[in-house]
Structure 1
Amino acid sequence: MEFVVHSYCLKGARQEPLLPPVTLTPTSLTLTVAELIRLTVAEQIAALSVQHWLAHVSVREVLDRQYLSERDILQQASEGAVVMPQPSASPDLDVGVEVERALKGFETRAFRVLHNGVMLQRLDESIELSPPSSLAFIRLVPLIGG
């Protein structure tokens, strides 16, 4: 069964998307808040990595097509084929480190997790997922002056 987790940033009275929504397929319908955070952060990193890699590749292809010099083309042709340079791999994020940051962020109330509109309080708190469960991560931004 699939569940979508939305992430928002509260700025005053506005809610703005913080990260793209991610779809989770948990192996169990009973999770702790910590397990939900682990699954969500791993999916967010995967989604962001693909999104940014595709954007990087697209930009790289356009630039390479536009600016591949005639000399480069002639040199490559003499070697048998003209090819575009391969984009460099972006640095991998350590999912474990990012999960730990998220768990600490939850504990320090940097963000909150809501399940069906109910704010969850503890990492060891159990939640029962069932369609149509609503899951949201809310990033809290302090107002200026306190």
Structure 2
Amino acid sequence: MEFVVHSYCLKGARQELLLPPITLIPASLTLTVAELIRLTVTEQIAALSVQHWLEHLSVREVLDRQYLSEHDIRQQAGAGAIAMPQASAPAQLDVGVEVERALKGFETRAFRVLHNGVMLQRLDESIQLGPPSTLAFIRLVPLIGG
């Protein structure tokens, strides 16, 4: 069964999408909050990595085509063929480190997790997923001056 997790940032009365929604397919319908966070962060990194990798390759390709230097062209022509440089992939994130940051962020209340509108309190708290479960990660941003 698939579940969508939405990530928002609350700035005063405004709610802004923080990360694109991701779809989870948990192995079990009963999860702890820690397991939910672990699954969510892993999927968010995977989705963002693909998105940014494709954007990086596209930008790199355009820049390389536009700004291939005359020196590079002459050098490659001397070798028999002119080829566009291959874009390198951006650095990979350490999923384990990012999961630990997220778990610590939950414990320090940097963000909240809601399941069916109920704020979850502890990492070891169990939740039962089922249709129509709604899941939201809410980043709290204090108002200026307090």
Deviations 1:99-129 (A, max 9, x none): 1111111111110000111111111111111
Q: CA deviation at 1:64?
A: 1.1
Q: CA deviation at 1:28?
A: 0.7
Q: Report the aligned-residue RMSD.
A: 1.3
Q: Give, in whole Å, the separation in 2 of the partners of 1:6 and 1:81.
A: 49
TM-score, normalised relative to structure 1: 0.93
Q: Give, in whole Å, the separation in 1 of the partners of 2:70 and 2:23.
A: 46
Match of 1:47 in 2: 47
Q: Give, in whole Å, the separation in 2 of the partners of 1:138 and 1:29.
A: 22
Q: What is the count of residue pairs matched by the alignment?
A: 146
State the one-letter code of the partner of 1:26.
P
Q: Give, in whole Å, the separation in 2 of the partners of 1:57 and 1:64.
A: 10
Match of 1:14 in 2: 14
Describe the SS at the equivalent of 1:91.
coil
State the one-letter code of the partner of 1:73.
I
Describe the SS at the equivalent of 2:15.
strand
Alignment of 1:1-146 (within 5 A): 1-146=1-146
TM-score, normalised relative to structure 2: 0.93
State the one-letter code of the partner of 1:17.
L
Q: CA deviation at 1:72?
A: 2.6
Q: Give, in whole Å, the separation in 1 of the partners of 2:80 and 2:116.
A: 61
* Worse-matched range after superposition: 23-32 or 84-93: 84-93
Q: CA deviation at 1:89?
A: 2.5
